[in-house]
Amino acid sequence: MASSRPPKYLLVFDFDETIINENSDDSIVRAAPGQALPEHIRQSFREGFYNEYMQRVLAYMGDQGVKMGDFKAVYENIPLSPGMPDLFQFLSKNHELFEIILISDANMFGIECKLRAAGFYSLFRKIFSNPSSFDKRGYFTLGPYHSHKCLDCPANMCKRKILTEYLAERAQEEVEFERVFYVGDGANDFCPSVTLTSADVAFPRKGYPMHQMTQEMEKKQPGTFQATVVPWESATEVARYLQELLKKKC
């Protein structure tokens, strides 16, 4: 009989350089003529306004005749990060224990393409990412996810706001998690991980900004970062940690 009990754990994933081994915004340039962007577009990037920059990149690619199928082919072929298939297979076997969500500053179309191609789309209860679609001309368009007041995050997305609101929404639905696990790599993954409690676990990708920022915080303000920090090079290490945790609970 199917279990009617709510999942015990919330598992939050980032997408770029976490689930996949590249930044998907950089990857799609492979569909551009000569697999490169003109200098004037590359020079237009401003720190904290990456979403706006990508809107210009996509408009240029549309002008060059790049179509939905071209983008789809690139997304589907982006390699997964080391060990990620092992982690997803482990989660598939234990799906009743984990509620899995994805919070990413990439875009909905690209994420869905990759997860469906990899066979893991159905694992995710919810995906939070920038809205994207193809307009009447066939141009790939991108919007901001939301607006927020966080000074540490890009103008279009604060992952802390998304995670906090999600937990509050689930609590109203009488779903409270014993623990939250957060798997990420970037500076924008550090922001939500600061809200994790001592019961929770942050899995920063080793040597990436999220990992460096947790180390810096621990040096400057010991004990401020409350979650257990488990750095990973292969997602197999994340699977192993979760497996050990489940054994202890049995």
Q: State yes or no: 105 annotated in a binding site.
A: yes
Q: State yes or no: 14 annotated in a binding site.
A: yes
CATH of the structural domain 9-21+81-249, one choice from 3.40.50.800, 3.90.1640.10, 3.40.50.970, 3.40.50.1000: 3.40.50.1000
What gap in Å lies between CA 186 and CA 174, rounded to an integer? 31
Select which of 14, 70, 135, 152 is catalytic.
Answer: 14
Q: State yes or no: 152 annotated in a binding site.
A: no
Q: Is the pLDDT of residue 5 over 80?
A: no
Q: Is 63 annotated in the active site?
A: no
Torsion of CA 216, 146, 162, 68, to 10 degrees: -100
Cβ count within 10 A of residue 76: 13
Select which of 16, 26, 70, 135 is catalytic.
Answer: 16
Place of tokens 């080793």: 206
Provide the residue type at 18 as one letter.
T
Tens digit of each residue's pLDDT (9 = 90 or more) over 55-92:
999 999 999 999 999 999 999 999 999 999 999 999 99
Q: Is the C-alpha dihedral spanning 131, 159, 123, 239 positive or negative?
A: positive
Residue range 36-52: mean pLDDT, rounded? 92
Tens digit of each residue's pLDDT (9 = 90 or more) over 203-249:
999 999 999 999 999 999 988 899 999 999 999 999 999 999 998 87
Q: Is 70 annotated in the active site?
A: no
Give 4's pLDDT tier (boundaries 50, 70, 90). Answer: low
Q: State yes or no: 70 annotated in a binding site.
A: no
User: Which residue ranges make up each domain of the chain?
Assistant: 9-21+81-249
Q: State yes or no: 26 annotated in a binding site.
A: no
